[in-house]
Amino acid sequence: MNFKITAKRRIISVVFMLAFFVFFAFDLVKIQIIDGEKYDAASSSVSASTAPITAARGEIVDELGKPLVYNDQGYSVIFDAAYFPASGNHAQRNSIIHSLIKLFESNSLVWTDNLPLVFDVNGEIAFKEDSEKEIKEMKGKNLLRLNDYATAQNCFDALIDRYELENYSPVDARKISAVRYEMERLYFRIGNPYTFAVDVPEEIIAKIKENSTYFQGVDVQVVPVRKYADGALAPHILGRIGAIDADEYNEKKNEGYKITDLIGKSGIESAMEKYLKGIDGEATIYTDGEGNRTTEVTTEPIHGNTVVLTINAGLQEVTNAALEKALLDYAGKQGNMVENAGAAVVINCKTGAILACASYPTYDISTYSENAEALNTAPGSPLWNRALLSTYATGSTMKPSVAVAALEEGIIDTEYTVYCSGMYNYLGQYFKCEQDHDSRFVDVVHAIDESCNTFFYEVGHLLGIEKMNEYRTLFGLGSKTGCELGEAAGVLDSPEYRASLNQEWLPGFTVQSAIGQAGNLFTPIQLANYCATIANGGTRYKTHFVKCIKNYDYSGTVLETKPEVVAETGVSAETLSVVKQGMLEVGTTGYCAKYFAGLPVEVAAKTGTSQEIRKLDGISVKINNGFLISFAPYENPEIAVAVVGEGMTSGAFVAPVVASIVDYYFGQTDTMEIYQTENTLIP
């Protein structure tokens, strides 16, 4: 019985095995012969991967369409993860990276290096200054996983161990680890190449291609590169782009940003980021069994929009040159205790559009990346935008606002005079007037023209600080002007402000405030807008740098900036006429007359000087700053200009800056060239 069962089982097993082999043979015949062509074709297209196509960033042009920031084609050296040595092959990765670095350094070229570790003057590894966010990210759980208190040496040791760099010198190990670290931080993988260097010269590209066998996985991409028509024209306004950091990425990743993207870091590049950034496209890369690749564009990238500024390139150039010359001329003839520094702002009185905005010392933004470290520590802080961010006690430029308040409140009229003996007694304190007047009895027009402190001490006393500040607030002093870029609010000094600092408001502060002293601190752009408000009849506009935003092909308007009224001061035409008359005399017969003679139009102005305590070489010293506010033409004003010269004893010394601006603006208006794009004029 058992024998029969066993034999039956053997027969079933043999039949099953024969059936299996018959099925396998049939399947093999089907693959090899029947469907051979199909599978042969499939084997030649082994894989497909996708890669982003970076969209060109939008251009920035001046008010007439002249390109200021544009795109050019350039070469980027990238690492392709499909062919680059595997992450565990440290020796080969390090060797390729080391060779590339030596190639670039021997040709004085820069490569991407964002590692927040540097060697200090003693040759010790240290954290890079002002890199707190980057250091925190490096120590974080996604990278080195070190404690917050880990030292720079701890971080460096971890990098050497992580990437097996023990056989390299500390200097070379730091350079290689900078690349390895950045590759890891940016999630280097198939479909996400790593950019080793941008804007690489053709001769270096040729050398890399000639040695492609050694430089395994090192490839070249043609990409849009940011270029500047003149990197020194308006660097503080245009701003710069840079690699997106971890915080920016976390904030914007849902808006389509990649960890490898560039993003606006300052200026218009940052403020208009959402308009300038294009929409990336996508390419599909097919790789056959022999390693041959073909690329197909599956989604076309969309170019970023064009930002049209209110800045006039020609006027900006004139303003830059005139400001620099005035500062250097003063230093050469008068001497200057401080670094030559200042700012100038030109505003359209009727719209609030900023036509020129200069800060000195300045820099060339096209070479920023190569010079960033030196610029950060350079004398005079060239990266600092004095026109929008520096706040000053602005001296006698405040006197027109006090005159407006007193006339409007009925405290004085055009017949009202004050006797000036050269000293003013207020509650037993004596305050000086520096002027030698034609008449000791000074009315409001001559008080503005001759800058009589005594007149304004008395008027300030009669007005009181609340009324003075009420009118200054109407003129926007002590508050931001509203422009698209970062600006300081300044300080409108008052009893309330002093109380917030746990300070007492002393009686003498009121009369000092009337001549622009005390604790008032205003920016040059505030001064320009204040002057424009007086000039245009009492309407304060929101300032702006952006005229409009166009599609990249100029087929449509994405955004247009309309003049925006922030405040109607309500000041009467009669009052403004009196104040403007005093300012006209400053420009035609007073301190600035010799500079403004022969200009195409009449210029009204007010000078100012203030004192400041500043640390120089660790010692507190008292310096002067000179200011000038002006508008032109006197009849039907079009532009207002504010200029500051640090270390100057009078605002009259910057009058040549205003003269150059007015001469260019009113002498060139009819002949300015309009730049065209696609046969479309900028409206």
Q: Report strand pairing: 47-53 vs 117-119.
A: unpaired
Spatial separation of the C-alpha atoms in residues 456 and 452, rounded to whole Å:
7
Q: What is the pLDDT of residue 17?
A: 61
Instruction: Identify residue 227 by its one-letter amino acid code.
Output: K
Do residues 450 and 485 touch, judged by C-beta distance below 8 A?
no
Spans of the chain, pLDDT less than 70:
1-46, 289-291, 668-683
Quick: pLDDT tens for 486-502: 999 999 999 999 999 99
- Half-sphere exposure for 338 (CA within 13 Å, toward CB): 27
The CATH number of the domain holding residue 582 is 3.40.710.10
Spatial separation of the C-alpha atoms in residues 636 and 160, rounded to whole Å:
70
Nearest to 451 by CA among 409, 526, 399, 508: 399
Distance of CA 156 to the CA centre of its chain: 32
Q: What is the pLDDT of residue 287?
A: 73
Spatial separation of the C-alpha atoms in residues 539 and 375, rounded to whole Å:
40
Do residues 327 and 305 touch, judged by C-beta distance below 8 A?
no
DSSP label at residue 353: B
Spatial separation of the C-alpha atoms in residues 5 and 20, rounded to whole Å:
23
Spatial separation of the C-alpha atoms in residues 259 and 195, rounded to whole Å:
12
Would you call 630 helix, strand, or coil by DSSP? strand
Is the sign of the CA dihedral 71, 75, 79, 84 positive or negative?
Answer: positive
CA torsion 374-336-355-632 (nearest 10°) is: 180
Residue 206 lies in a domain: no
Q: What DSSP string runs through 389-444?
A: H--B--GGGGHHHHHHHHHHTTS--TT-EEE--SEEEETTEEEE-----SSSEEEH
Do residues 645 and 654 touch, judged by C-beta distance below 8 A?
yes
Q: What is the pLDDT of residue 603?
A: 97
User: For residue 308, what are the β-bridge partners?
Assistant: 61, 548
DSSP label at residue 306: E
Residue 526 lies in a domain: yes
Which helix (H) or strand (E) is 74 found in, with range?
A: strand 67-79
Q: What is the pLDDT of residue 42?
A: 47
Spatial separation of the C-alpha atoms in residues 119 and 508, rounded to whole Å:
53
52 preceded by a cis bond (ω within 30 of 0): no
Quick: pLDDT tens for 420-469: 988 998 888 889 888 887 778 999 999 999 999 999 999 999 999 999 99
Residue 278 lies in a domain: no
Spatial separation of the C-alpha atoms in residues 180 and 307, rounded to whole Å:
37
Residue 97 lies in a domain: no
Residue 170 lies in a domain: no
Residue 150 lies in a domain: no
Helix, strand, coil share of the chain (percent; to 5) = 40, 25, 35
Range of the structural domain that residue 20 is part of: 2-43
Q: What is the pLDDT of residue 3?
A: 47
Residue 121 lies in a domain: no
Residue 347 lies in a domain: yes
Per the document, the length of the chain is 683
Instruction: Identify residue 57 by its one-letter amino acid code.
Output: R
Q: What is the pLDDT of residue 585?
A: 97
DSSP label at residue 47: E
Domains of the chain: total: 2
DSSP label at residue 58: P
